[in-house]
Amino acid sequence: MKASAFFFLAISLLLPSLSIALTFECSHIRVKGKKYNFEKIGGPHTVSLIEHSPPSIHNTTWSVDLCGTLKKNKDVPAGDQCPGGSYVCGVKTTFNPNDDDKPHVDEVIPIAGSFATSTGTNLDPIIERLEDISGSDMTGLRLELHGGTYMKQKQMAIIDLQCDPERTGNEKSPVKKGKDDEDDKVRNAESDQANDSADDNDDDDDDNDSLRFVSYKKEEDKQVLRLDWRTKYACTTYEEDDDSGSGSGKEGTSKHWGFFTWFIVLWGRAQLLLWGWLARER
């Protein structure tokens, strides 16, 4: 991992345009000639899952900031919060009303971020359009963010930014009154199965949040956090770009394409050189 990070760093020093492969600029995203700007939904956003396992109450709060790293809270011990560089991170607390004064932190799970100085891993964002993903009937963008490791397990976030012209993306329902525990238990059981049956729920508080938890589970060799985010900024409001030529490689469709295109160009150039040399030899 470190070697490949170093490789990318070396490459990005040579070619400034490639540095975007390491980070992610929320206000400047271009996919298939369409521009997106998520600046207005920048800043920390959270979604909390409450589980009751009597006598304790577990609260897993997932935080995301599309436009920068999550800020640290000075009043909380460093070990109890997300490491510096986190873009997506979860904190699980447990509270036992019978013998705790306040919740204590059980788990801090860095999902994605730029951890070049600690673990040598990076955000390595991959962006694609939802309409290009088979089985998806939404429009918007899918954002894959990497870099986190928790208990030796690689972590990753898949955030589906779904076009919803009615929402800014910052909507959040008021904090729920701790009313029916039974309701919560049912909902948590459902979300464990990653079945999107929350829609059937009478209690539509959750449904009013623009950012929603979908699942956190092992998929292939990674622990994957999936979130849905309904926002008008995921709608294609911009016209096709006119610079379809040489410029398109620069902020290419997805960041990995940028590298790939560059590689092909270099390879093509090497072939030409070889060709010329062979022609001269003859």
Please give the residue ranges that form the binding site for ligand NAG (CB under 6 A).
48, 50, 59, 61, 171, 173, 175, 195, 197, 204-205, 208
Number of CB atoms found within 10 A of residue 281's CB:
6
CB 147, min distance to ligand NAG, A: 22
DSSP string, 250-278: TT-SSHHHHHHHHHHHHHHHHHHHHHHHH
Q: How far apart are CA 136 and CA 128, in angstroms?
A: 12
CB 208, min distance to ligand NAG, A: 4
- Among residues 59 and 261, whose Cβ is nearest to ligand NAG? 59
- Among residues 60 and 253, whose Cβ is nearest to ligand NAG? 60
SS3 186: helix
- Among residues 48 and 56, whose Cβ is nearest to ligand NAG? 48
CB 175, min distance to ligand NAG, A: 6
CA distances, 273 to each of 198, 246, 267, 276, 277 (Å): 60, 21, 10, 5, 6
- Among residues 97 and 245, whose Cβ is nearest to ligand NAG? 97
CB 200, min distance to ligand NAG, A: 8
Beta-carbon-side half-sphere exposure of residue 14 (alpha carbons within 13 Å): 8
